[in-house]
Amino acid sequence: MRSTGDVLAALRKLMANLPNSQGSINAYIIPSEDAHQSEYLAKRDERRAFITGFDGSAGTAVVTENEALLWTDGRYYQQASKQMDTNWTLMRDGQPTTPTIDAWLAKTLKPGSKVGVDANLIPTRAWNPLQSSLKSAGCLLLTISPNLIDLIWKDQPVAPRNPIIPLSVEYAGRSVAEKLVAMREKMTDKRASVVVVSALDEIAWFLNLRGSDIDYNPVFFSYLLVTLDDVYFFVDESKLSSAVNDHFRANKVELKIRPYGDIKEALKSLAETCENRVWISLGSNYALSALIPEEKRFHEITPINLMKAVKNEVEAAGMRQCHIRDGVALCQYFAWLERCIKERRSVDEISGASQLEKFRSVQDKFMGLSFTTISASGPNGSIMHYHPLPETNRPITDKEMYLCDSGAQFLDGTTDVTRTLHFGTPTEEEITAFTHVLKGQIALGTAIFPRKVKGQFLDTIARKALWDVGLDYGHGTGHGIGHFLNVHEGPMGIGIRLMPDDPGLEENMFLSNEPGYYKDEHFGIRIEDIVQVIPTSIGDNFNGRGALCFRTITMCPIQTKLINVKLLTDKERNSLNRYHQTVWETLSPLLKKANDAETLAWLERETQPI
């Protein structure tokens, strides 16, 4: 564990005497995000991890003159308390007794105190309520520039400059020109002269481009300003190859390319001179929003966000296809793992994950992993977002449960799948818990619901079977997933918390279905599939509103050894058997073609009806 005493002392010194004669502040907020509100970060943007020592994907740090606190959610309680030293206090976000950051600051700070934050790193959605709650406590929220962490981070990595590649219409399904027409129609509808696009996956999707500036996320650092006449693309020009220029010519789109750092000046002048409103998402950083005259700000998720979430037919077909290839690799891995364990060959979480990557990487259209593989044996499985490190690496054996959550990027889609297995004899407790997780997973996977219902209302369908026996899990049930893009994407989701911009579920949205159960220090269970929202018909179809259901596109057996069949209803049993039959029918021809007799035999056994 790295000691944070020195960096905290350096930060507090700066807080007491801010650069550029900005005076002093009593508290400094360090958000997780970068200037684009990315969930996964480039190394240079891991400021919150640098100051706290905790490297999970979600959390906000607050440093005052005497205290250092980190707020993070249920996925990360264990990891954060393990990774942080005694300088830090863990604030368990989401627990009824934990105050929010706004409430804590308002209660703790004396009236007249000043709180600072880098406005580039805080979404407008978080800035507005924070500012008003501090104001009512007699405190002030200030934007501090430059970023204080950057000033104390001696070996901060440089900004990535990886090349950008075009994604052909063969995979993207819609040309940039078509997307632009659709975008401008929406702009006219909403009386917007300019749309500000700062989310990196939105820019990549809109321009049919992909990059690799952030590990696992095929995005590149840039901004986009779209007007009714022009498209301004703010990007480091050295990233653009001739292939990208050809791509735009072929797409019949002319972009005005500007240096990445010019966004603020350009936005300010466009916002001042444009006739109508400036469309900017509340998810965009406050530094951008603040450049727009208040009466011109139009806060709504960008039209791109919605267009991207509802996959077109080409994207949807690609998603299904890549899940089949991904399923082959996953089955090969589990069959291989079973043999290693049977033959007493040593295999551990790290070597297992790298073998899985090998199986994936030879699949057609493979572009990389979609996140760090969670390869977790025994008690490590109870750490929800665990990934193995040399110091935590455990052997995978027939003595304990093994949880594997992994995914890949393909040219035609993105995958994310979790399976939990036991290679020996599971305990009754493990079987009971697994069966209840599965019941919830089937309940959601087979649910029928009204068109446009918000994902939040589906969450308890997946939890009910667990709640019936007093069990639960501390994470969401489902997230959107990109098409050869970020593994987590909005605006919809299935969770206890309301997604602020959830437009309701629509045909051809893709989400995960991933309930779980975690027994601290013992084991973790999660079953995760990706599902496609498809139309169905029932009764009067909700008074004509339309009925939807899910189609599971993940292709990998669920270990029946871990199921207590007596706890399943006939409907649940039939549903699982049908799924296993589909998996067998889909994957077996490919395994036969690959002459992979070992995996074929494994798959045949694992898909037998129960």
Binding site for Zn ion (CB under 5 A): 405, 416, 512, 528
Report the half-sphere exposure of 298 (CA within 13 A, side-chain side): 19
Nearest distance from C-beta of residue 488 to Zn ion, angstroms: 7
Tell me how far, at minimum, the Cβ of 443 lies from Zn ion, in Å: 18
Cβ distance to Zn ion smaller for residue 374 or 443: 374
Residue with tokens 């009971």: 432
How near is the Cβ of 447 to Zn ion at its closest, in Å?
Answer: 18
In terms of Cβ atoms closer than 10 Å to its own Cβ (0-12, 13-18, 19+), residue 504 is: middle
Residue 53 C-beta: closest distance to Zn ion, Å:
25
Least distance (Å) from Zn ion to the CB of residue 388?
15
If the CB atoms of residues 52 and 477 are measured against Zn ion, the closer one turns out to be 477
- In angstroms, the Cα distances linking 191 to 138, 269, 277, 298 are 37, 18, 6, 9
Shortest CB 438 distance to Zn ion, Å:
16
If the CB atoms of residues 379 and 478 are measured against Zn ion, the closer one turns out to be 478
Vertex 217 angle, CA 59 and 116, to 5°: 35
Burial of 239 (0-12, 13-18, 19+ CB in 10 A): buried
The angle subtended at Cα 37 by Cα 380 and Cα 497, nearest 5°, is 60
39 versus 528: smaller Cβ distance to Zn ion: 528
Residue 169: is it exposed, middle or buried by C-beta count within 10 angstroms (0-12/13-18/19+)? middle
The total of other beta-carbon atoms located within 10 Å of residue 180's CB is 17
Strands (E) located in 198-253? 209-210, 223-227, 231-234
By beta-carbon proximity to Zn ion, the closer residue of 73 and 236 is 73
- In the complex, the smallest distance separating the C-beta of residue 196 from Zn ion, rounded to whole angstroms, is 29
State which residue, 416 or 459, has the beta carbon closest to Zn ion: 416
* Residue 194 contacts residue 270 (beta carbons within 8 Å): yes
Max intra-chain CA distance, the chain: 73
3-state secondary structure of 138: coil
Residue nearer to Zn ion on the CB measure, 202 or 405: 405
Q: How far is the CB of 480 from Zn ion (least distance, A)?
A: 10
CA–CA gap between residue 235 and residue 258 (Å, rounded) = 6
Identify which of residues 528 and 572 has a Cβ nearer to Zn ion in the complex. Answer: 528
